[in-house]
Amino acid sequence: MSVQGARQLHNRFRAIHDTGRIYGHAWAIATAEIARQRVPVKTGETRRSIRIDHETATGAAVSAAGGAVFLEGGTRAHVEEAKGKALKFKQGGRPVYAKRVNKPATAKQPFLSRSSLEAADKESPAETLVDLWNGAA
């Protein structure tokens, strides 16, 4: 006995299985591109570090190094102690040496989480599923 359309149905079920991976990949690419445009730039190190960290059948992760964690979440005011003889920094164009420095708090600049949400709005899992379903037959 032979069932008509069995191969096409099998291909469509496979397409459903692949939806998470394909949508996750598209979301990760969009998130990384948007984050590179949104990240505050001082040296460019954080922007250069934005990348797709890993992808699985159920999702993907985008990461950034450098000061990304401090940009994303902000910082509390704190005291920075010298590890050696002194800290060296410039103030008014002149070098300054100090044993400790009072660092002010910095405001959150959540570029990565906002980029992720924006990418999720752009990339629709439902559209991905429908496209894969229709293309599989």
Note the pLDDT of residue 99: 95
For the question of whether the overall pTM of this predicted structure is more than 0.85, the answer is no
pLDDT band at 134 (very low <50, low <70, confident <90, very high): confident
pLDDT in tens, 50-84: 999 888 777 789 999 989 999 999 999 999 999 99
Note the pLDDT of residue 81: 94
Nearest to 22 by CA among 51, 52, 56, 62: 56
Range 47-51 contact pairs with CB under 8 angstroms and sequence separation of 24 or more: 50/112
Average the pLDDT over each of 13-22, 32-41, 74-83 and give the range with the smallest value: 13-22
pLDDT band at 10 (very low <50, low <70, confident <90, very high): confident
Average pLDDT on 125-132 reads 80
